[in-house]
Copies of this chain bind each other. A is one copy, B any other.
Amino acid sequence: MASTLVAPARSKRLEDPLEYLPCSRTAAYKKSEIIYTHGEATKNLYLILAGKVKITRQAEDGTQSLVDIYHTDEFFGEAALLRPATRSEEAQTVEQTRLMMWTSEEVEDAVSKRPPLAVALLQVFSQRLSDFTSRIQSLSADGTDARLARSLVHFAGRFGTVEDDGGVRMMPFTHELLAQYVGTSREIITLYMNQFRRQGYVQYSRKSMLLYRDALREWLQRN
């Protein structure tokens, strides 16, 4: 058995990497522009100053999987810290986007000069590992309808704004994009989205999506 006792959760706040990162080069991208693609050697860690970026993987047969969509104040491209740093993913803007970027050498230099930055980045990566683990669990254990429900709850938490009636308003994800995230076909997504709409969990149009998140969470607990 371990010789140390488990300590209670700390109330100390997480470190914010943005407080410690030096300013660096920026770049502006239009909607749907590719930032980097599969197989490229690259060396930049990116921070989103404004906009949204989707990260996808592609199987040999061309099947696209959506890793996630990142937005303002979030990082992507952390594989730049590895050697060799080859991209096994593609980064593409979802809307007009402005990025700041650091080479891995610049990150290493900044980390050496400002140790709290190291702690902050380790926390960002730990949180993402935890999120990916939840996703692996859902993909392993849930049926397609529950995976879709969890994905909608996930996106609502990241991109939504709560309205007066408790619904969460967010951008209108295409069924194609949801299919790439959930790991199924567009047809199956359409089937379950229609079901969720009939049951009152979601309303959507071409302009936006309104999700009744608490009700959908209850549905997840019952199923």
Contacts and interface: CB of A to CB of B under 8 A. Distances in A.
Contacts of A191: none
Contacts of A89: 133
Interface string A10-23: 11111000000000
A83 interface: yes
A201 B132 CA distance: 30
Given A29-B1, A83-B13, A125-B126, A36 B6 contact: yes
Contacts of A137: 57, 59, 65, 67
Given A126-B78, A221-B60, A27 B9 contact: no
B126 A81 contact: yes
Say which size band chain A's interface belongs to: 35 or more
Contacts of A111: 115, 118-119, 122
A151 to B, nearest CB: 11
Interface in A135-167: 135-137, 139-142
Interface stretch (A38-46, A168-176, A192-200, A203-211): A38-46
B88 A134 contact: yes
Contacts of A122: 78, 81, 107, 111, 118, 121-122, 125
Q: Mostly helix, strand, loop or mixed at chain A's interface?
A: mixed
17 contacts: A2-B29, A3-B27, A13-B83, A65-B137, A67-B136, A67-B137, A79-B129, A81-B119, A82-B130, A108-B115, A111-B115, A118-B118, A125-B129, A135-B136, A136-B139, A139-B139, A140-B180
A-B CB proximity, top 9 nearest? A140-B183, A118-B118, A9-B84, A139-B139, A112-B115, A125-B125, A132-B132, A9-B41, A2-B27
Given A2-B35, A6-B43, A59-B141, 20 more contacts: A4-B27, A9-B84, A9-B86, A10-B43, A10-B83, A14-B82, A14-B83, A60-B221, A63-B141, A65-B140, A67-B137, A81-B126, A111-B115, A111-B118, A115-B115, A118-B119, A118-B122, A136-B136, A139-B140, A140-B183
